[in-house]
Amino acid sequence: MKTFLRLTALVKPYFWWMALAALIGFATTGSGIGLLMTSGYIIAKAALQPPMSALQLGIVGVRFFGLARGALRYAERLLSHDATFRILTKLRLWFYDAIEPLAPARLMHFRSGDLLQRVVDDIQSLENIYTRVLVPPLTALFISALMWFLLGSYSIEASLLILFFHLLAGIGVPLLAMRLSRGVSVGIMKQKTVQQLLSLDLFQGIGELQIYGKLPEHLEAMRTAEADKLRLQRKNALIDGLHESLTGLLMNAAVVAILWALIPKLSTPDMNGISLTIVTLAVMASFEPFLPLPASLKHLEADTHAGERLFEILDAKPETIAPAAPLPFPKDPAIRAENLSFSYPGSPVKTLDSLSFETLPGDHIAIVGPSGAGKSTITALLMRFWNTPEGCLTIGGADIGRFDPEELRRNIALVSQRTYLFAQTIRENLLLARPEATDDELKKALAAAGLARFSSKLDEWTGQHGMKLSGGERQRIAIARMVLQNAPVMILDEATANLDGVTEKEVTETLAALGAGKTMITITHRLKAMDQYDAIVVLDKGKIVEQGSHEKLIQGNGLYRRMWELQHTMEPV
Ligand SMILES: Nc1ncnc2c1ncn2[C@@H]1O[C@H](COP(=O)(O)OP(=O)(O)OP(=O)(O)O)[C@@H](O)[C@H]1O
């Protein structure tokens, strides 16, 4: 109920649109009833062979209600769809706005297929809140009240009978349908999520599935998921059929009961054959707005489930938020860590343990160490993907928490080990770093990253996840982005790991030139051209085990020297 109320609060700004559409919906159904009544009137009256003039009123009524029903139906659809699409747009923007600060810390527990399902299908299903959940009961209520008064003007019994049958059709049948279909709509949604996850895994991991011979197993899982969904959909269709038949049955029962109540009144001045015909047809037509009610309850269950899934994400507090009065990024971005410790949520071990190091503005430092030592975690803290609960991390002397994360990310350019390329053109992938860049600037950035040959391919599609480019080319696109971003701090997290020796040397030189006068942190476990760094921090199992210049470290007898010797086996030190 709480979720439902929160969802309806979201569509509050469209209340008047919805109220107007509901009113027009009522007028449309009312016109349908009017059309049947006036048609019945003409037929019944004509059977008595009166003069043509006696039928005039009925003919005008048929024309009026016939035209009005079409025009009103059109207006109602127009209004309700317009309101629905506005609501959907609002919901999607609201969701994207809310989800952005959650990345990556709060989203890493969700699988991408699941998130996709929430963004696309769950939000889509919320459009039903208005069209299929809120409006149909209102229309049915109005029509029921109208019929109650209409029949009440002939007979109290008839008005009580219509009330009874409307209650059965409006509450009894939907409740029965809901009971029978409990969990079916939600089950279908869950199966769709499973299918989406399996499909994404199939598309992204088809190579691995083929190599390890797991493709048939995966396809079997997809078939099972499809069969489970079909089973639920079949059950759903059976219940739909059942409630439609029950509503039809109630309509016929209502007609019989009301005839039973009204036929004795035929001998009174209040009722004649014509009015009996009209009333009977009106009773039949009045059941039309009750047909969608069972579906309303089913949608209510599914929408509430979709709402819960959305709120589960939206209620998550972002890991990092901008302070009320954020500091501007400093002109001299010296970076200092003092007793910095950090553990990932749920992890019993300290990923970083009491780190202390410093980079002066314009310094180029290297952070080296074996895989899993915690090097990339330092980057994640500097980008404010995570908060720094223990110790301190400062930029330009100010605690990192005093900067707006967005401002930090604008001023710290990062080339990480995993470059994501969007399934767009090379131009669009580059413009991400500087949207206003000219083609000339893009070409210069490509050339600086060793991709001059791509200058004529700006409009070429990079493929899904950049699959049309080699690993090295993808990495160089990321370096071109860094060139375009031209930020005062640069972090290279294994940025050249995918490049061949010659290109690696070229790109490293380009990056060194680009980094002249800027603060640069290079994260690597490959010890190459280490004498170019002002300082080297050696990390092992989250602790700094050594730090200093290449000359100093190589003289020592620690991890750095061992790593160096391992990588340069034959070279004498
Ligand atoms: N999001 C995360 N949640 C939980 N643990 C994580 C997360 N990211 C990294 N870790 C763990 O933290 C430790 C340090 O990881 P990190 O990526 O910082 O190491 P690294 O030194 O950069 O390694 P590599 O050179 O292989 O990239 C590892 O044990 C890793 O499993």
pLDDT digits (tens, 9 = 90+) for 51-68: 888 888 889 999 999 999
Strand order in the sheet with 543-548: 412-415, 489-493, 519-524, 364-368, 535-540, 543-548
Distance between CA 271 and CA 258 in Å, rounded?
13
**Does residue 359 carry a pLDDT above 60?**
yes
CA of 203 to the centre of ligand 1 (A): 26
Average of per-residue pLDDT values in the chain: 87
Q: How far apart are CA 416 and CA 523, in angstroms?
A: 9
Give the number of the atom of ligand 1 that is nearest the alpha carbon of residue 525.
25
The predicted pLDDT at position 177 comes to 87
Q: Which residue has the higher pLDDT, 173 or 15?
A: 173
Task: Show Cβ contacts of residue 478 under 8 Å, excluding neighbours closer than 6 positions.
Answer: 415, 416, 419, 495
Residue pair 254/5 in contact by the 8 Å Cβ criterion: no
Ligand 1 contacts CB of residue 463 (under 6 A): no
Q: What is the pLDDT of residue 100?
A: 79
Residue nearest to atom 5 of ligand 1 (CA): 344
Q: For residue 126, what pLDDT is reported?
A: 76
Quick check: CB of 203 below 6 Å from ligand 1? Answer: no
> What residue owns the CA closest to ligand 1's atom 26?
371
Q: How confident is the model at residue 89 (pLDDT cuts 50, 70, 90)?
A: confident
Torsion, CA 177, CA 178, CA 184, CA 187, rounded to 10: 170
For ligand 1, the distance from its centroid to the CA atom of residue 376, given in whole angstroms, is 7
- Token pair recorded at residue 344: 């990932």
| CB environment 514-531: b (16+ within 10 A), e (fewer) | bbeebbbbbbbbebeebe
Ligand 1 centre distance from Cα of residue 371 (Å):
8
Does the CB atom of residue 372 touch ligand 1 within 6 A? yes
**Overall average pLDDT of the 464-483 stretch:** 84
Q: Which residues pair with 342 in a beta bridge?
A: 352
What tokens were used for 36? 């049947």
AA identity, residue 97: D
Which among 12-21, 285-294, 352-361 has the top mean pLDDT? 352-361
Nearest residue to 38 via CA among 78, 1, 65: 65
User: Could you tell me the CA-to-CA distances from 332 to 317, 335, 511, 519, 573 in Å, in that order?
Assistant: 32, 9, 20, 9, 37
Q: Is the pLDDT of residue 195 over 70?
A: yes
| 508 has a pLDDT exceeding 90 | no
Q: How far is the CA of 103 from the centre of ligand 1 (A)?
A: 17
Rounded to the nearest angstrom, the distance between the alpha carbon of 372 and the centre of ligand 1 is 5
Give the helix/strand (H/E) hosting 222: helix 215-262
Against a cut of 0.80, is the pTM above it?
no
pLDDT at 417: 75
Rounded Cα gap, residues 113 and 191, in angstroms: 12
Q: Cα(445)–Cα(448) distance, rounded to whole angstroms?
A: 5
Q: What integer is the mean pLDDT of 424-432?
A: 92
569 lines ligand 1 (CB under 6 A): no
377 C-alpha to ligand 1 centroid (Å)? 6
| pLDDT tens digits, one per residue of 311-330 | 888 788 888 888 899 999 99
H helices present in 263-319, as ranges: 273-285, 293-314
Contact assessment for residue 388 and residue 401, using Cβ atoms and an 8 Å cutoff = yes
Q: Computed from CA positions of residues 249, 255, 258, 264, in that sequence, does the dihedral angle turn out positive or negative?
A: negative
Cβ count near 104 (within 10 Å): 11
- Residue 104 Cα distances to 40, 277, 372, angstroms: 66, 68, 19
Beta strands 543-548 and 412-415: pairing type?
unpaired
- Cα of 155 vs centre of ligand 1, distance in Å, is 79
Q: Report the pLDDT value the prediction gives residue 250, as an integer from 0 to 100.
A: 95
Query: Which run of H or E residues covers position 537?
Result: strand 535-540
Take atom 29 of ligand 1 and give the residue whose Cα is closest. 372
Q: Could you tell which of 106, 355, 377 is best to mutate to test the pocket of ligand 1, judged by most ligand atoms within 8 Å of the CB?
A: 377
pLDDT in the model for residue 573: 44
Pocket test for ligand 1, best of 343, 353, 355, 376 (most atoms within 8 A of CB): 376
Helix (H) or strand (E) holding 352: strand 352-359
Angle CA 490–492–498, to nearest 5: 150
Could you tell me the distance, in angstroms and rounded to a whole number, from the CA of residue 89 to the centre of ligand 1?
38
Using DSSP, state whether 90 is helix, strand or coil: helix
Of 106-110, 269-273, 433-437, where does the model show the most confidence?
A: 433-437
- Domains of the chain plus CATH, in order, are 14-314 (1.20.1560.10), 335-567 (3.40.50.300)
DSSP 401-461: GGB-HHHHHHHEEEE-SS----SSBHHHHHHTT-TT--HHHHHHHHHHTT-GGGGGGTTSB
3-class DSSP state for residue 32? helix
The predicted structure's pLDDT at residue 68: 94
Q: Is the CB of 344 under 6 A from ligand 1?
A: yes
Q: How do beta strands 364-368 and 519-524 pair? A: parallel
Res. 571: pLDDT tops 60: no
pLDDT tens figures, 196-253: 889 988 988 888 999 888 999 999 999 999 999 999 999 999 998 998 899 999 999 9
- The more confidently predicted of residues 135 and 28 is 28
Which residue owns the Cα nearest ligand 1 atom 7? Answer: 344
Distance 336 CA to ligand 1 centre (A): 21
> What pLDDT is attached to residue 168?
95
ipTM (interface pTM): 0.96
- More confident call, 81 vs 334: 334
Distance CA 419, CA 67 (A): 61
Question: Residue 113 pLDDT more than 90?
Answer: no
Q: Mention every residue, 6+ apart, whose C-beta is less than 8 A from residue 504.
A: 496, 528
CA of 477 from ligand 1 middle (Å) equals: 24
Tens digit of pLDDT for each residue in 12-32?
888 888 788 888 888 998 899
Instruction: Work out whether strand 352-359 and strand 335-342 pair parallel, antiparallel, or are unpaired.
Output: antiparallel
Local structure of residue 118 (DSSP, 8 states): I
549: pLDDT strictly greater than 50: yes
- Amino acid residing at 353: D
pLDDT of residue 221: 94
How many residues are present in the chain? 573
- Low-confidence winner among 147-151, 496-500, 551-555 (lowest mean pLDDT): 496-500
Under the banding of pLDDT at 50, 70 and 90, the label for residue 165 is very high
pLDDT average, residue stretch 67-95: 86
**Is the per-residue pLDDT at 497 higher than 70?**
yes
**What pLDDT sits at residue 245?**
93
Q: Is 107 helix (H, G, I), strand (E, B) or coil?
A: coil
- Distance between CA atoms of residues 526 and 369, nearest Å: 9
pLDDT at position 572 is 47
Pick the closest to residue 297 from 137, 98, 87 (CA basis): 137
Mean pLDDT of 385-399: 90
**Residue 335 host element (H or E):** strand 335-342
Atom 24 of ligand 1, nearest CA residue: 371
Residue from 102, 375, 527 to probe ligand 1 pocket by mutation (most atoms less than 8 Å from CB): 375
